[in-house]
Amino acid sequence: MNYLKDPIEIEKKSFEIIGSLIDESKFDERELKIVKRVIHATADLDFSNILKISSGAIEAGLSALKEGFAIVTDTRMIEAGINKQALKKVGAEVKSYIDLPDVEKIAKEKGITRSMAAMIKASEDERAKIFVIGNAPTALFKLCELVNEKKIQPSLIIGVPVGFVGAEESKEEVKKLGVPYIITEGRKGGSTVAVAIVNALLYML
């Protein structure tokens, strides 16, 4: 059978196909890198329409990464998917608080989800500047509350939770914060999308 076997060539060909299927003129060079990597990870061209990048978001994310600030995620899956070699090169780190005993305790005491409790825990870390939410809308809602309460000041919010309950609404709340953001409008998103966005930023460095 005749088919591509070289991973580099496969990725190159995939990005060429994606470019031929979307309107590249809607994005600048760096935005396009993010959009293409998300589509490459999902095979869903709709992300070229629903991925929204606020003014200055890419610059804010790159600056935070260069300074070695922490990336906070809402799932271990996202933490596992982020390119560790690329992180190491810039001296940044990724953290997920979801399964810490303190987080479970906070969740039980307050009657909230562990994802929400994890955001409360993350607010104690002054080096937590990039927040990446790909699974839990409740985590994104809580993050928005913490920002509004001035308990945390993110450099960038990547808000792409997936689902039917709260996913769309939580992303709309992010737009109101005045914080640089990369989100997906509507119900689509997920950990795979979140990882693709973070890795696209890392590869720009």
* pTM metric for this prediction: 0.95
In-domain check, residue 19: no
Identified catalytic residue from 40, 52, 95, 175: 40
Give the pLDDT band (50/70/90) at residue 3. confident
In-domain check, residue 130: yes
In-domain check, residue 184: yes
Our answer to whether residue 157 is catalytic in this structure is no
In-domain check, residue 9: no
Residue 174 sits in a domain whose CATH number is 3.40.50.10230
* DSSP bridge partners of 182: 53, 158
Number of domains in the chain: 1
Q: Is 68 left (phi over 0), alpha (psi -120 to 50) or beta?
A: left
Domain range enclosing 56: 47-204
| Local structure of 124: helix, strand or coil | coil
pLDDT at 168 (0 to 100): 97
In-domain check, residue 154: yes
| Local structure of 71: helix, strand or coil | strand
The tens digit of pLDDT for each residue in 139-194 reads 999 999 999 999 999 999 999 999 999 999 999 999 999 999 999 999 999 999 99
In-domain check, residue 87: yes
